[in-house]
A = this chain, B = another copy of it.
Amino acid sequence: MVARAGIVVTGTEVLTGRVPDRNGPWLAEALRRLGVDVGHVVVVGDRPDDLSAALRFLADTGADLVITTGGLGPTADDLTAQLVGQVQGRAPELDVALEGRITEIVARLSRDRGWRMDPGATAAGTRKQAVVPAGAEVIEPVGTAPGLVVPVADGRTGPPVLVLPGPPGELRGMWPAALESPRVRAALAGATELRQRTVRLWGTPESELAATLRGLEGTLDGLEITTCLRGGELEVVTRFGPEHQAGYDALVAAVHGAHGSTVFSTDGAEVDELLARALDTRGWTIATAESCTAGMLVARLTDPAGSSVRVLGGIASYSNGVKTAALGVPAELIDALGAVSAEVAVAMASGVRERLGADVGVGITGIAGPGGGSADKPVGLVHVCVQSPLRSVSRELHVPGGRADVRERTVRVVLQLLLELVAP
């Protein structure tokens, strides 16, 4: 039996997309590493009945552990602890010692951050956070909200509920302590190792890969394979127990055999990481000149820690004046051919390489829309150029979708072009 968990993410702000959910995916991945299978992530608003229904649903799916995130704050709409208690059959109870500890934490935070707090409001909020279901185990706060492990009341059956706060830093900080709870350990006792491996392809259509997989039917027992296309990149993720490693190796060999030239990653690495490794192997630095993507590429190149060894910087030349002043693109070139042209992309790449003293330069100029397109140069037309000390590669892209899609997909294509340019 594989241990299974279900996750409830609470908060109207998440349900309506005002805040993206960073906890559900993080918990799903953390549990997968432990060999625990996650069947559902249920996002609910702040309505009591909806949360209770979600908790009962996950218990009914046979989950060994239910985890909730959010709804532990000092405000009246934060009801998770109370509702979990109700569903588990445990009455609310003020934990006086916990109230004291939270009071100390809040006092310390206020001092450190120079907050001026209304004492009455603070005390009321603290007391609310210290009211917990009777018999629940408390996980000490990283912020101000305590976590809880709430077993079902005696005489009932059902999984325990692990209650964690919503701020991702607090949730992640409390995760190790949560895993040490005896009730959580018992719930996840059935966990067995589940491997997850990823193969990434660039340029193979999904239907071609599907044909390859159909040809392997019968040899794929024990492999749970999912494929996913994003912006031209085809991702094949396989999950399996250790006993099926040989079957997985055969699958990878078959994908290599059929689509070898488009396979760019078999160790899970994303294109960003492969590019960083390739640049570091060469000892090359990089600088970017971006028009329609205006900083998105350089922001992404500097995402990883330590990126300053390879990234010198970038110039977002949104206006033509900046293309000329900061990158040295001749104004006559822009006048004659337009800012969105192959020649300007080349001039931007070589300009930023030279001015910033980088080994590798990138030029991106295009029409992200929705305005600015013409019959000749429609929205989605993007000219890109990547240059190394060894060669220069230019591409004319026709990127589908709206403004955000054009910008994001252009960055993705350029990362792949850079990888091809730099890979040894």
Could you tell me which A residues sit within 8 Å of B by CB distance? 11-13, 15-21, 24-26, 28-29, 32, 38-47, 50, 53-54, 57, 61, 73-77, 115, 117-118, 120-122, 124-125, 169, 205-211, 213-214, 224-230, 235, 237, 287-288, 290, 293-299, 301-303, 305-308, 311-319, 321-322, 325-326, 355-357, 369-371, 400-405
Contact = CB atoms under 8 A, between A and B. Distances in A.
Nearest to A230: B19
A318 B322 contact: no
B43 A15 contact: no
Given A43-B40, A50-B40, A325-B355, A404 B303 contact: yes
Nearest to A57: B57
B295 A314 contact: yes
Nearest to A16: B28
A287 B74 CA distance: 40
A365 to B, nearest CB: 12
Given A13-B235, A39-B44, A40-B53, 19 more contacts: A15-B24, A15-B41, A18-B235, A39-B53, A40-B50, A40-B54, A46-B226, A74-B207, A120-B211, A121-B210, A169-B402, A294-B302, A294-B311, A295-B314, A305-B370, A307-B318, A312-B318, A312-B319, A314-B316
A62 B404 CA distance: 36
A174 to B, nearest CB: 15
A316 B75 CA distance: 40
Contact of A318 (B44, B121, B230, B311): B311
A293 B405 CA distance: 22
Given A40-B50, A295-B302, A299-B295, A74 B206 contact: yes
24 contacts: A11-B228, A13-B235, A17-B25, A17-B28, A19-B228, A40-B53, A46-B224, A53-B57, A75-B207, A75-B209, A75-B210, A75-B227, A121-B210, A121-B214, A125-B207, A125-B210, A169-B405, A294-B299, A303-B404, A305-B369, A311-B319, A312-B318, A313-B318, A313-B319
Contacts of A26: 17
Contacts of A12: 226, 228, 237
Nearest to A369: B305
A44 to B, nearest CB: 6
Contacts of A45: 38-39, 226
Given A75-B213, A206-B73, A43 B46 contact: no
